[in-house]
Amino acid sequence: MPLEFELCPGRKIGGDHPCFIIAEIGQNHQGDLETAKRMIHMVKECGADCAKFQKSELEHRFTKTALERPYTSKHSWGKTYGEHKRHLEFSHDQYRELQRYAKEIGIFFTASAWDDMSVDFLHELDVPFFKVASADANNFPYLAKTAKKGKRGEHKVLESVRDARGTLQDSKEGILRL
């Protein structure tokens, strides 16, 4: 029987269940809360099941030197990299507002946490699951921290990756790689 489990309250994935579509909003809202809400509404209208953002606690993710370095890109929202990133990053209260809005219109809400403090905040926010960024796929301390938070599905996803790896290792063809 194919793996299936409840990823979000009342929403099973795997097996014969419909595909679960996560719309990556990331920071495409350009730091504007109303734009973020419009994007949540749009992805809901397009049939997505979940709107996903990216969460960073900048002072924990970057060094002071990195945040103070000049940032002169034509797309910059500030004179330094820190000013630019701060413009794009929502506050905890703004994340709560976005989560409320998503719930109000009937779409799940989550985010990729880019540092330990963001994992703690998203856990406090009670997102239905953590979406681990590809960049953290081999960040084992980070993965251990997210797994300890006990969100739905993540242990099953890790089990399925282990099962897939085992299946691929057993294959004589060796065509597929994880």
Q: Tell me: the pLDDT tens digits for 20-53?
A: 999 999 988 999 999 999 999 999 999 999 999 9
| Bridge-based pairing state of the strands 22-26 and 11-14 | unpaired
Tell which wins on pLDDT, 17 or 134: 17
Residues 6+ apart with CB under 8 A from 112: 52, 53, 54, 55, 130, 131, 132, 133
- Top pLDDT among 168 and 16 is at 16
Q: How many residues does the chain have?
A: 178
Q: Residue 156: what pLDDT?
A: 47
H or E segment to which residue 64 belongs: helix 64-68
Burial class (CB in 10 A: 0-12, 13-18, 19+), 173: exposed
Q: Residues 53-81: what's their mean pLDDT?
A: 90
Predicted local distance difference test score (pLDDT) of residue 178: 42
DSSP string for 65-131:
HHHHSB---TT-SSSBHHHHHHHHPPPHHHHHHHHHHHHHHT-EEEEEE-SHHHHHHHHHHT-S---
d(CA 41, CA 103): 11
Domains and CATH numbers, the chain: 15-138 (3.20.20.70)
- Determine the 3-state secondary structure of 27 from DSSP: coil
Contacts of 77 (CB under 8 A, 6+ apart): 30, 31, 83, 84, 87, 88
Q: Vertex 99, ends 123 and 51: CA angle to 5°? A: 95
Structure-token match 């809202």, residue found: 29
User: Is it the case that residue 173 has pLDDT exceeding 60?
Assistant: no
Bridge partner residues of 52 (DSSP): 24, 110
Q: What is the mean pLDDT of residues 96-124?
A: 95
In the structure, what pLDDT confidence band is assigned to residue 140 with cuts at 50, 70 and 90? confident
Collapsing DSSP states into helix, strand and coil, what is residue 34? helix
How far apart (Å, rounded) are the C-alpha atoms in residues 125 and 148? 16
pTM strictly above 0.75: yes
